Amino acid sequence: MAEKQQIAIIYENLTGWAGGTLYVLNLVSSLSLLDECDKPIIHLYCVSKKDFYSFQEITKYPYLKMEKLYRNPFIKALNKVFRYVKASPLSFFGIDISKTKDVFVFPVRSRNIMSNDHKILGWIPDFQELHYPEFFSKSELNYRDKEHRDFFLSKTPVVYSSKDAFQDFKKYYPEYDVKSFILPFAVTLPDFSDLNIQHVKSEFGINKKYFFCANQFWVHKNHMFLFRVFKKLIDKGFDYQLVCSGKLLDSKKDKYTQEIRSFLQQNNLQNRIVILGFIDRKKQLCLMKNSYAIIQPSLFEGWSTVVEDAKALNKYIYLSNLNVHIEQAPKNVCYFNPNDEEDLIDKLQNVHPNEIKYDYKIDIMNFGKCFIKIINEYGKE
């Protein structure tokens, strides 16, 4: 029997970036669908045993080995400063080279903190900062650019989540010739069949037919656009609620948070636009599944988890017409211009959900197969 492939997976349980955490969970879950002989041994690098056991319970992956992910205390202190100035936290970890020097390490987001002894696969989900630099501080823009150039200068192979992101690499960094892979991800949803939708709706004050929006409250997620659309529709007698998962910042100094709160209060929309905060994943999926439809108004995405959730749930989605959203190609979709309120108003009033059944398990299997194909191709070099 052939010896199993060994791969080191970096798992950072990031409360501020749920997408990054879910990405790794979904990747390993997809590997569970491979033939037994093709399933690799995963050295899971995480900070605590709690994270490891939680990961093991969620993915049910049979070949997991826990390894220690070390945090740098200096960077931990520096991140407190970064949060104060609204810059993204640094991801700075250390791993035991003796255990991983002969296996592939993924997903690596900072090349300059890894040893040359590692077989590294870099991961750049997107280049959002180049499309919307106004959403980032100067220090964060500089940090992201340096992080990317460290990959490119070192000739580290890089994985992108979409063809759209790869095209951005060629557009914004044409001077570099780097081995690149495209790996669109798929989601593996937890079983939420034990939840009673009426109980969940009652818990969150949902008492009408509702649309669901599942986004973090970042400016590029375009919530204010969506709220203005709903205000105009409600004024016309539109008898739906808009339910949003995701956490508003508590800081009274955050202008965007205050803009949202003021808009809802001034227009008496607190009962029609329901902001749930950060909620349990199963409850979120239960609400998505039982919604009238999902809305994703984002101005930018790398590869949208929300779109993949909609595909996995066979749920209709009103979707901003970004290139990457079109690349994701959901079957049950109505596209709209995320800068044109009247376009979305027209679509919500006149285009009604028509859900086509779709076997999403194929997408999950392809995610795992494509990842192993990348590993094998990289290994031949």
In the numeric block, which tokens belong to residue 365? Answer: 């299997």
94 vs 263, more confident: 263
Specify the 3-state DSSP secondary structure of 49. Answer: helix
Would the pLDDT of 90 be above 50?
Answer: no
93 vs 69, more confident: 69
C-beta separation of 337 from 298 below 8 A: no
What's the rounded mean pLDDT across residues 136-148?
Answer: 89
pLDDT of residue 117: 58
pLDDT tens column, 183-239? 999 999 999 999 999 999 999 999 999 999 999 898 999 999 999 999 999 999 999
pLDDT tens column, 50-71? 999 999 999 999 999 998 876 6
5 vs 187, more confident: 187
How high does pLDDT run on average in the chain? 88
What's the rounded mean pLDDT across residues 294-314?
Answer: 96
pLDDT of residue 16: 52
Would the pLDDT of 102 be above 70?
Answer: no
Cα dihedral 353/270/287/198 (nearest 10): -110
pLDDT of residue 96: 58
pLDDT tens column, 335-360? 999 999 999 999 999 999 988 888 99
**Which residues share a beta bridge with 336?**
320
pLDDT of residue 205: 94
Predicted structure pTM score: 0.88
Would the pLDDT of 378 be above 90?
Answer: no
In the numeric block, which tokens belong to residue 49? Answer: 């045993």
Would the pLDDT of 93 be above 70?
Answer: no
Q: Which DSSP string do the residues of 144-188 spell out, in sequence order?
A: HHHHHHHHHHTT--EEESSHHHHHHHHHH-TT----EEE------
- Could you tell me which of 165, 62, 168 has the C-alpha nearest to residue 123? 165
Judged on CB neighbours under 10 Å (0-12, 13-18, 19+), 236 is exposed
Would the pLDDT of 369 be above 70?
Answer: yes
pLDDT of residue 47: 83
In the numeric block, which tokens belong to residue 183? Answer: 């790996």
Estimate the share of the chain in helix, then strand, then coil, as percent rounded to the nearest 5. Answer: 45, 15, 40
Confidence of residue 110 (pLDDT cuts 50, 70, 90): confident
Q: Give Cβ neighbours of residue 43 (< 8 Å, ≥ 6 apart).
A: 6, 7, 8, 9, 65, 67, 99, 100, 103
What's the rounded mean pLDDT across residues 170-183?
Answer: 96
- CA torsion sign for 59, 72, 251, 307 is negative
Percentage of residues in the chain having pLDDT higher than 90: 67
pLDDT of residue 253: 63
Confidence of residue 255 (pLDDT cuts 50, 70, 90): confident
- Could you tell me which of 231, 235, 285 has the C-alpha nearest to residue 263? 231
Would the pLDDT of 77 be above 80?
Answer: no
pLDDT of residue 381: 59
pLDDT of residue 99: 61
pLDDT of residue 97: 52
Rounded Cα distance between 171 and 122, Å, is 19
